[in-house]
Amino acid sequence: MTLTLYQHPLASFCHKVLIALYENRTPFRAVTVDFADPGAAAAHFGRWPVGKIPVLHDSRGDRTIPETSIIIEYLQAHHPGPAPMLPDDAEARLEVRLWDRFFDLYVAAPMQKIVGDRLRPEGGRDATGVGEAHAMLDAAYGMLEARLAGRSWAAGGGFSLADCAAAPALFFATIVHPAAAEQRNLRAYVERLLDRPSFGRVLAEARPYFDLFPYRDAMPAGYLADRTG
């Protein structure tokens, strides 16, 4: 197998890359990184010293590729499939990249702040930072509600890198910070993402690990349903 993805089935940024791989039916080997295992953790820090996942290794050329957006662009350039995640048109490509960054920075990042804070011991929590994260999600949801009016996907016309970023970010974010009832465009977009076969497969693989998610009890029933059939 040429491609190996070092990842964890519950990690939202890993989901982003997995969606792109499944959209294109790209063959790869998945290796779960267990950071609780000192040997596995050390091996991963050897691959990418900041220790983040996912990381892709391509045995063709012995290349190690970190960072989700770069991995997906690398796959399109070196292992292309039938569903390009970035358009050829330069302006459309910029739009896709913009919204990819939007979901990573203004949805995924504040979501992770909220989730991470719940894992902290009493006395070590950051109420101010969590409040700022909720405020950022409010702002992001408002922008998305306007952005998604009359639009099926986030950018570029079709399903793209931006939607790969959106699916896991919004899945977890709308658990810890639900969208308002009147944000119908955003809610409908989340449903389209949940119904996407590639994301359904990702969630099916993540489901056995959901009990590790600190907001598991807040997951809506629809988020727990198997949509792969």
pTM for this entry: 0.96
Pure H helices in the chain? 12-23, 38-47, 68-78, 90-103, 109-118, 127-147, 161-176, 184-195, 197-206, 221-224
Q: Could you give the CA distance from residue 159 to residue 156 in angstroms, rounded to a whole number?
A: 8
| Pairing between β-strand 29-32 and β-strand 63-66 as defined by DSSP bridges | unpaired
pLDDT digits (tens, 9 = 90+) for 11-38: 999 999 999 999 999 999 999 999 999 9
Note the pLDDT tens digit of each residue in 53-80.
999 999 999 999 999 999 999 999 999 9
Q: What are phi and psi of 185, to 5 degrees?
A: -65, -45
Q: Which residues of the chain have pLDDT under 70?
A: 1
Spatial distance between the Cα atoms of 173 and 114, rounded to a whole number of angstroms: 9
Whether the CA torsion 166, 168, 169, 172 is positive or negative: it is: positive
Is the preceding omega at residue 54 within 30 degrees of 0, hence cis?
Answer: yes
Asked if CATH classification 3.40.50.920 holds for the domain at 90-199, the reply, yes or no, is no
